[in-house]
Amino acid sequence: MTVQVSSKQLLATVLRQVAGDDDAIDAATLDAAGDETLFEDLGFDSIALLEVLNRLKREHGIALDDDVLEQALTPAQLVSAIDEELRDVA
């Protein structure tokens, strides 16, 4: 049986994984933040966000261009980019 995971749930999992690997990101702040909170306010710098993109590609087969980070400044915006990529490959 395959369990469907939403893009929002998938991104939340990857963000928590990266936060756990990065001492500069507070996991409690991440869990309490809303979808419209800026990544910068969550403690994610450009290197951490590149790691998010790398994990999405490596572990989930979702390949987003690095330039998506220029437009996706919040988790909600990155979820939209993930959804768009999934529609394009479907």
Q: What's the total number of domains in the chain?
A: 1
Predicted local confidence at residue 4, as pLDDT: 67
Q: Is residue 50 part of a domain?
A: yes
Q: Is residue 77 part of a domain?
A: yes
Full residue range of the structural domain in which residue 19 is found = 7-89
Q: Is residue 45 part of a domain?
A: yes
Predicted local confidence at residue 21, as pLDDT: 75
Predicted local confidence at residue 19, as pLDDT: 85
pTM, full prediction: 0.84
* CATH number, position 22: 1.10.1200.10
Q: Is residue 17 part of a domain?
A: yes
Q: Is residue 19 part of a domain?
A: yes
Q: Is residue 33 part of a domain?
A: yes
Q: Is residue 1 part of a domain?
A: no
What tokens appear for 19 in the block? 């936060």
pLDDT per 10-residue tile (average), the chain, 90 residues:
74 88 70 84 92 96 95 94 89
Burial class (CB in 10 A: 0-12, 13-18, 19+), 80: middle
Residues 6+ apart with CB under 8 A from 61: none
Predicted local confidence at residue 77, as pLDDT: 95
Task: Match 């980019």 to its residue by tokens.
Answer: 81
